[in-house]
Amino acid sequence: MDFCKFPKNLKEVVPRNLKLKGVRRRLGMMMGMMILGGMMMLWKYHKSCLSSDKIIYFYGFTKDPNTLKYMVVMDCANKGNLRGNLMRVIKKKWSQKLYMLYEIISGLNNIHEQNLIHCDFHDGNILDHNYEDNDKIYVSDLGLCRPVKSFLKEHSIYGVLPFMAPEVLRGKSYTPASDIYSFSMIMWEFTSGIPPFNDKAHDIQLSLSICKGERPEIIEDTPQCYVDLMKRCWDEDSLNRPSSKEVLSIIENWIFRSSDKKIKDINEELKYNIMEFINAPIGHNNNLSNESHPQAYNTSRLLGFTSKELNEILESKDSPDLDDCIVLLGV
């Protein structure tokens, strides 16, 4: 059991300003029941996925006796989250990057096989534990968005904007396909070394652009088969996106069939794809800025606009300029 430093094993389930102390007794009891219900649901989600070694191990809950905040106790990942390791990941060989992606999609597929949806899948919820110079990747925070969403008003949007599928931004329910969209952004990070849309404000303007089809710039020298899969995963139509099982199978073939002694028996398309990875240079992002826009937010938050406002602009009959729409709505 690797606990590293104890404080790093704790993650708050509820917003920082949510406390039961000082609240009127009845309201406090109601909120306490909501939190407890959310915690029990979180435990249920994790329990169903504990058989997977791609999901961070979850021990249970604790409560700070001084602040009365509830916290989750789980295994420690000594390298932190994926976002903090992107510059290290980008310098790895394609064989190493593909295996890290394989572990990520394996975890997501395990979640989907349990008829669950992550709903908050982004680089901050992917954890990296390095042991003897090998990276072990884990999916974390399964279901943590659900207790939070119970506090949201209708049409509110909560999450990390660049990782949210266009249909989710427009107010539709999360689906396994929306998780796959989020995975496509992680695929892109493995070619760029920076978070998607890091140089833009994460506001209604970006949301409109995403809903109208804007995606991150394809990085030069990325193997074409990788680009093709990534584009399928971020397809505007959720029905066109592959399942986690299909993505897992594709990446699995790229990794394990390349070391197959009977490579001559592999079909020509797969053989060509494998050679693309073997011959591809180590990724770089010389044409992209590492500087984050001051209004780029890479943690889950309540967005400053609603899906209703977004749809009103997108469904405008006259389809005026996006900036004009924003002014008209007073956003």
Domains of the chain (ranges; CATH) run 20-74 (no CATH), 82-314 (1.10.510.10)
Residues 223 and 277: beta-carbon distance below 8 Å: yes
| Entry field: residues in the chain | 331
DSSP H or E segment with residue 97: helix 94-113
Report pLDDT digits (tens) over 249-277.
Answer: 999 999 987 555 555 556 777 878 878 88
Nearest in space to 143 (alpha carbons), one of 167, 173, 119: 119
Residues 23 and 31: beta-carbon distance below 8 Å: yes
Instruction: Report the C-alpha gap between 203 and 325 in whole angstroms.
Output: 14
Residue where the block lists tokens 């070394």: 193
Nearest in space to 315 (alpha carbons), one of 299, 331, 329: 329
Q: What is the pLDDT of residue 292?
A: 84
Residue 2 reports pLDDT greater than 70: no
Residues 77 and 138: beta-carbon distance below 8 Å: yes
DSSP H or E segment with residue 254: helix 244-256
Nearest in space to 216 (alpha carbons), one of 296, 282, 162: 162
Instruction: Report the C-alpha gap between 20 and 31 in whole angstroms.
Output: 7
Tokens encoding 295: 């209004």
Q: What is the pLDDT of residue 61?
A: 76
Q: What is the pLDDT of residue 48?
A: 53
H helices present in 114-157, as ranges? 145-149
Question: If you average pLDDT over residues 157-162, what whole number do you get?
Answer: 92
Cα-based torsion angle of the residue sequence 102, 286, 300, 139 in order, rounded to the nearest 10 degrees: 20
Report pLDDT digits (tens) over 78-111.
Answer: 899 999 999 999 999 999 999 999 999 999 999 8
Burial class (CB in 10 A: 0-12, 13-18, 19+), 144: buried
Instruction: Report the C-alpha gap between 316 and 314 in whole angstroms.
Output: 6
Q: Report the DSSP beta bridge partners of residue 137.
A: 128
Angle at 54 between CA 164 and CA 254, to 5 degrees: 80
Counting residues of the chain whose pLDDT is more than 70, the rounded percentage is: 71
Q: What is the pLDDT of residue 1?
A: 33
